[in-house]
């Protein structure tokens, strides 16, 4: 009854309905763009090329499904994500950038985002050229003249910038994070194909395996929801203050510290760090230099080993979880704000001891989130190792993105509904 009532409110509320319709219309435009391929593609070689590459399948997730078709938006939002990662890393190297991101308020964050957008252009140029050359070397794309290469690069770059713009439009005029919704739409659009592959490969003797696969998916979704929503409440008391004849404060509340403070960002960071070196090495293999070819082949053999790849992936996700949490949550700033507002944590002195206490608690709970994210990231590789079937590999990263985006979307819609009710 409660769900039906809220759904009715969404339909009746014109502003909220228009926001949802805007999101749906923008996603429809994105899916149409993802179905327009660049010229000169060998479809059979394209399917063969993708089926034999784990990292291209991962990259296809973040292109929103456009990479598998070699569409005009084949890079998706990956150049923007790469640019954002570089900007986040630069906040460690350049204190002024960190100050701009954390202390300059809304205007500073807008300027920081503008720098990320500008950096997206060279990222899109490098990625589009490198990927086209890689596809040419594999015979997936026909040989191109200099002018044809220039035109294709320009089209692919324009597609990435257009998607970045569409994502920001969704964030501003729709509901939810636009970039996440574009990735979500690409994953959902690929589900019918994945289900059809399972149906084709189905055998009666494998029913227990399929049932186990279904149970694993349900358990995975449940685990993602629990860890995403889990938080550690830190009790906070406000001291009583007397002003004139009135007494202020004296209330108790809590500071929620999320177990998974970083969300899906560490997986994106780790994936980018693993994918693009592989793409560059695949390109260098065809360079007319024996030393470069040998080194590139050796590095590719190491990265193509599923166990080495899984270990590297897990370690990078684990490290980036702590890294991104440290960037987004500053215990010293929280401690200062609590002290200024006359608040304190029971049993902990204000100031530096409070910051140290918050940092210690955050380090412990982030360990749980980091291990969980790392496990989710390597789950497809583990499933393939145990079942021996690629079709029964749970896309842990895709599942995490889908569940996280749906949870975030539901929360924001409920917030809009609550605001309309009041």
Q: What is the pLDDT of residue 41?
A: 66
Q: 3-state DSSP: the chain helix, strand, coil percent, rounded to 5?
A: 75, 5, 20
Helices 352-387, 331-340: axis angle to 10 degrees equals: 140
Instruction: Output the CA–CA distances (angstroms, integers) from residue 130 to 35, 180, 290, in the order listed.
Output: 22, 25, 20
Sign (positive/negative) of CA torsion 360, 364, 367, 372? Answer: negative
Cα angle: 283, vertex 93, 273; to 5 degrees: 30
**Rounded-to-integer distance, Cα 113 and Cα 94, Å:** 16
What does 179-205 look like in DSSP terms, one character per residue? HHHHHHHHHHHTHHHHHHHHHHT--GG
First-to-last alpha carbon distance for the chain, in angstroms, is: 20
Give SS3 for 104.
Answer: coil
Q: CB of 101 within 8 A of CB of 92?
A: no
pLDDT in tens, the chain (422 residues): 566 666 777 777 777 888 888 888 998 888 888 888 777 666 666 666 665 555 566 666 666 566 666 788 888 788 888 888 788 778 777 777 777 766 656 777 788 888 888 888 988 888 888 777 777 766 667 777 778 888 888 888 888 899 889 988 988 888 888 888 888 887 777 777 767 766 776 676 767 777 877 787 788 888 888 888 888 888 888 776 656 566 555 677 888 888 888 877 787 777 777 766 776 776 677 677 777 778 777 777 777 677 787 888 888 888 888 888 887 788 888 888 888 877 888 888 888 888 888 888 888 999 988 898 888 878 777 776 666 655 555 566 777 788 888 888 888 887 777 776 65
Those residues with Cβ within 8 angstroms of residue 391's Cβ, 6 or more apart along the chain or in another chain: 194, 197, 198, 201
Q: Does pTM surpass 0.95?
A: no
Give SS3 for 243.
Answer: strand
**Rounded-to-integer distance, Cα 67 and Cα 59, Å:** 8
Q: What is the pLDDT of residue 258?
A: 86
Q: What is the pLDDT of residue 136?
A: 74
- Return the C-alpha torsion angle 316, 318, 320, 323, nearest 10: -140
Which residue, 338, 142, 165, is CA-closest to 236?
338
**Rounded-to-integer distance, Cα 186 and Cα 182, Å:** 6
**Rounded-to-integer distance, Cα 14 and Cα 20, Å:** 10
Query: Which residues sit opposite 236 in a β-bridge?
Result: 253
**Rounded-to-integer distance, Cα 235 and Cα 343, Å:** 10
Give SS3 for 75.
Answer: coil
Q: What is the pLDDT of residue 347?
A: 82
Domains annotated on the chain, with CATH: 1-189 (1.10.3370.10), 203-422 (1.10.3370.10)
């Amino acid at each position: 009854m409660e769900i039906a009532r809220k759904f009715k409110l969404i339909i009746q509320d014109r502003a909220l309905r228009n926001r949802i319709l805007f999101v749906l219309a923008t996603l429809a435009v994105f899916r149409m763009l993802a179905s327009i391929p660049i010229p000169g593609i060998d479809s059979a070689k394209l399917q063969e090329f993708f089926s034999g590459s784990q990292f291209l399948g991962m990259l296809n997730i973040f292109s929103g499904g456009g990479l598998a078709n070699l569409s005009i938006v084949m890079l998706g939002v990956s150049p923007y994500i790469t640019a954002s990662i570089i900007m986040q890393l630069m906040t460690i190297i350049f204190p002024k950038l960190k100050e701009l991101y954390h202390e300059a308020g809304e205007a500073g964050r807008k300027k920081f985002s503008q720098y990320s957008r500008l950096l997206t252009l060279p990222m899109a140029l490098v990625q589009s050229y490198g990927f086209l050359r890689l596809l040419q070397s594999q015979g997936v794309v026909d040989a191109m003249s200099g002018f044809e290469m220039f035109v294709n690069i320009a089209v692919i770059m324009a597609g990435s910038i257009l998607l970045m713009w569409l994502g920001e439009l969704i964030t501003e005029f729709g509901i939810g994070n636009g970039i996440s919704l574009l990735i979500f739409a690409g994953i959902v659009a690929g589900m019918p194909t994945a289900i059809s592959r399972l149906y084709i490969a189905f055998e009666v003797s494998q029913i227990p395996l399929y049932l186990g696969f279904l149970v694993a998916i349900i358990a995975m979704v449940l685990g993602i929801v629990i860890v995403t929503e889990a938080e550690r409440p830190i009790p906070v008391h406000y001291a009583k203050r007397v002003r004139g004849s009135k007494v202020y404060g004296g209330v108790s509340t809590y500071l929620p510290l999320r177990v998974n403070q970083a969300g899906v960002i560490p997986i994106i960071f780790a994936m980018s760090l693993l994918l693009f070196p592989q793409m560059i090495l695949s390109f260098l293999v065809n360079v007319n230099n024996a030393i470069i070819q040998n080194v590139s082949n050796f590095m590719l053999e190491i990265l193509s080993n599923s166990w080495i790849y899984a270990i590297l992936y897990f370690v990078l996700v684990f490290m980036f979880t702590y890294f991104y949490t440290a960037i987004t949550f500053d215990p010293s700033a929280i401690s200062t704000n609590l002290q200024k507002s006359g608040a304190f944590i029971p049993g902990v002195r204000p100031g530096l001891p409070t910051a140290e206490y918050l940092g210690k608690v955050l380090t412990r709970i982030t360990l749980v989130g980091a291990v969980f994210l790392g496990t989710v990231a390597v789950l497809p590789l583990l499933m393939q190792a145990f079942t021996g079937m690629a079709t029964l590999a749970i896309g842990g990263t895709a599942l995490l993105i889908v569940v996280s985006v749906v949870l975030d979307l539901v929360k924001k819609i409920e917030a809009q509904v609550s605001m309309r009710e009041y």
